Structure 1
Amino acid sequence: MPKAYWVSAYRTISDPDKLAAYNKLAASAVEAGGGRALVRGGRVVAHDAGIAERTVLIEFDSFAEAVAARESAAYQEALAMLADGVERDFRIVEGIE
C-alpha cells in the first residue's frame, strides 16, 4: 500500500503567534493520527515558478490515514488556532507503490 503525505507550502505568515499556537496543537494531532514529520521549515531552493517558502512534509502509512488525520477533531482544533494567520497551499497526496 502506498504511503501518503501532507504537503504544506506557506506563502505568507502574517501572524507568527497564531502559527506557533497551531504548531503546538498540530504536532500532537498529527502524531495521534499516525503522521511523521519529514520536513518542517529549513532551507529551500526554489526553481521555475516556485517560491522559496516554509515547507512542511508529513508522512502517513496510507492515504485514508492522512485524510482521517486532517478531518480529526484534534487537527480541526489546531486549524482554528491558525485561522487567518497564514496563507498556505495544503495538499494530501498519495505516494508511489
Structure 2
Amino acid sequence: MPKAYWITTYRSISDEAKVAAYAELAGPALRAAGGTFLARGLPAHAFESGALERTTLIEFDSVDAALAAHETPAYQEALRALGDGADRDLRIIEATP
C-alpha cells in the first residue's frame, strides 16, 4: 500500500494565537495517529502561480491512515482550537508507487 502525504497551506492567518493553539494540539495528535512531519514553514522559493504560504507536509502509511488521523477526537479538538484563525487548504495525496 502506498504512503500518503497530508499537505496543508495557509492562505491567510487572521489570528496567530489560534494557529499556535491548533499547532500545540495538532502536532501530538497527528504523530499519535502515525504521521511523520517531513517539512513545515515558509517555502524557500515559489514559482509559476506558487505562493509563499506557510506549508506543512506530513507522511502517513496510507490514505486511509491519513483520513483516520483527521477524524480522531484529538485532531478534531485541534480544529476547534483553530476555529476561524486561518484560511487553509488541506490535501491528502497518495504517493506514486
Letter matched to residue 36 of structure 1: T
Q: Deviations over 1:1-51 (max 9, x none)?
A: 110011001111110000000001001110110000001114431111111
For 2:49 and 2:26, the matched residues in 1 are separated by 29
For 1:45 and 1:89, the matched residues in 2 are separated by 19
| Cα pair distance change 1:14/1:50, threshold 3 Å | same
After superposing on structure 2, the runs of 4+ consecutive aligned residues of structure 1 that deviate more than 2 Å are none
Letter matched to residue 70 of structure 1: H
For 1:88 and 1:44, the matched residues in 2 are separated by 19
Q: How many residues align?
A: 97
Question: SS of the counterpart of 1:70?
Answer: helix
For 1:71 and 1:43, the matched residues in 2 are separated by 28
Letter matched to residue 74 of structure 1: A
Unaligned runs of 5+ in 1: none
Equivalent positions of 1:47-62 (< 5 A) are 47-62=47-62
**What is the percent sequence identity of the aligned residues?**
55
Question: SS of the counterpart of 2:96?
Answer: coil
- Counterpart position of 1:94: 94
TM-score using structure 2 length: 0.95
With 14-23 and 41-50 compared, the bigger mean Cα shift is at 41-50
TM-score using structure 1 length: 0.95
Question: SS of the counterpart of 2:51?
Answer: coil
- Counterpart position of 2:45: 45
